[in-house]
Amino acid sequence: MPVASALAIAGNRVAGGVGTHETALASPDRVNLGGRCVFPGLNDAHVHFPSWALAQREVRLEDTSSLDETLARVEAAVAAAEPGHWLRGRGWRSGDWSPEVEPSRQALDSVTGETPVALMARDYHSLWLNSAALAAADGELEVTGGVVELDEHGEPTGILREESAWQFRDRYLTASDDEFVDAMREGLKVVAARGVTAVHDKDGWLGAPRFWQRLADEGALTLRVWQSLPYDHVGRLQELGFRSGIGDELLRIGYLKAFMDGTLGSQTARMLDGSGVEITSREQLVEIIRAGARAGWPVAVHAIGDLANREALDAFAETRGEWEPLGLRQRIEHAQLLAPEDIQRFGDLGVAASVQFSHAPSDRDIADRHWAGKTDGAYAYRSLLDTGALVANGSDAPIEELDPLAGICAGVLRALDEREAWHPEQTVTVEQALEATILAPAWLARDERRRGKLLPGYLADLVVLDRDPLAIEPEELPEVQVVATMLGGRWIHNPPPWD
């Protein structure tokens, strides 16, 4: 990336960089950075923005370390909630609890009474319900691709997994449009303060495009959004003649989303050892990629386990002749556990690894437990980069916080606590982490000639940092602060002057 000592901005674009000897720019406004540092705006390549925004208002259980602590937090929330309304929460992970115990409806019932309570697991692949919530469900809990856990009497334990969890959520737990839009309006301010100017959203299934449009109509949309849609809309998109990229300067519909398997935390990741849950087969994915290519859409496919990733790569390889000539930017989301012999295939095939740097340190204990002996290929970001693969970084918010600087720290340090880095051979450099957070997501959104660099003609999307992350020791990275953020030449967070 070129480095300039000053930057000229005209309208919504960068008009030029200025060398050390030039000081005069024809402009009515001049901002003295006072030694601060400017980078292109930060991206998050994997967010569920509406879900994240709403999650800011729900019972949060991410940092609970025992069942008792979890129940105490739920009990307090029930006491504060409106009687008779659903209480929603998220973030629990029974693998984090000590002593070890499985969640059950009986445990929840002991603190929730008549209030129906639904708690989404941290990885979103399991849902924990109390008896009142189960009673509210008149429909069938068993669905294809889903799991309903039963006790020894054949009664539901209160835990639903995969499709069963998602269908329950869609039927009973979805918030109103107004609730989503209100929460997102607040959320946009939060992420502007974190230097974010673009996201790749995954909540197309939830109706995210109509929420974004409402926000745009009121002038509140301060992000560039590259939106996914569930792959089963592809026939309709083709009929209508909508191709990837349709939209405007801020909101574009970009890619199709599919799922190969479950997750690590719910132990539903599809593994070479035969365990896990298959959501989409290799053959089905081949058909999805083909249909996408015919209609002009790339596919982002979620794959966590080593078998899920292998089959996703197989499907992209088999269809390569159909999508590569079209320049479709295919991607595997997470690419969390890879068989060592599959890592090179990302570079060879030109399929992007859309990963979450922050997952590595936060999942390390569970990965060491469930994937013992296999973690050399887990969260293998440096190895992926070494193959020449495009690696894009996201948060998967609300699973991790929507905070790209925190993701950069996690990629470089691979530690969240005082412990040594987890698999330090997989740490990335600060420069690589910045590229994965700035350049790679812009390329995936076909924006590499408009965004991601501060060159003449590029959009003036930028973040002012209090210090240069490339000029400090990695240990100092967690202290880097966002000072201000600009989108298309307009300040969206903390306009100058600053003192």
Residues in the site for Zn ion, rule: CB under 5 A?
202, 396
CB of residue 166 to Zn ion, shortest distance in Å: 12
Tokens 């005082």 found at: 418
Crossing angle of helices 359-370/404-413, nearest 10°?
A: 50
Minimum distance from residue 303 beta carbon to Zn ion (Å): 12
Residue closer to Zn ion (CB basis): 90 or 202:
202
> Taking the complex as a whole, how short is the minimal distance between the CB of residue 46 and Zn ion, in angstroms?
5
Close Cβ partners of 98 (under 8 Å, ≥ 6 residues apart): 65, 66
**CB of 183 or CB of 483, closer to Zn ion:** 183
| CA pair distance 188, 400, nearest whole angstrom | 17
Smallest distance from Zn ion to CB 394, Å: 8
DSSP string, 193-249: TTTEEEEEE-GGGGTHHHHHHHHHHTT---SEEEEEEEGGGHHHHHHHT--TTEE-S
Length reported for the chain: 499
User: For residues 97 and 379, which CB has a smaller minimum distance to Zn ion in the complex?
Assistant: 379
* 140 CA to centre of own chain: 30
Q: How far apart are the C-alpha atoms of 459 and 379, rounded to whole Å?
A: 32
Least distance between Zn ion and beta carbon 302 (Å)? 7
As measured in angstroms, the least distance from the Cβ of 228 to Zn ion is: 10
**Taking CB positions, which residue lies at the least distance from Zn ion?**
396
Question: Considering Cα of 266, then 74, then 97, then 63, what sign does the dihedral take?
Answer: positive
Q: Considering beta carbons, is residue 122 or 423 the nearer one to Zn ion?
A: 122
Task: Decide whether 58 or 396 has the Cβ nearer to Zn ion.
Answer: 396
Cβ atoms of residues 67 and 101 within 8 Å: yes
Task: Kindly state the smallest distance separating residue 12's Cβ from Zn ion, in Å.
Answer: 30
Judged by beta carbon, residue 261 or residue 396, the one nearer Zn ion is: 396
Residue 321's alpha-carbon distances to 325, 349, 431, in angstroms, are 7, 11, 33
Q: Which is nearer to Zn ion, 13 or 202 (CB)?
A: 202
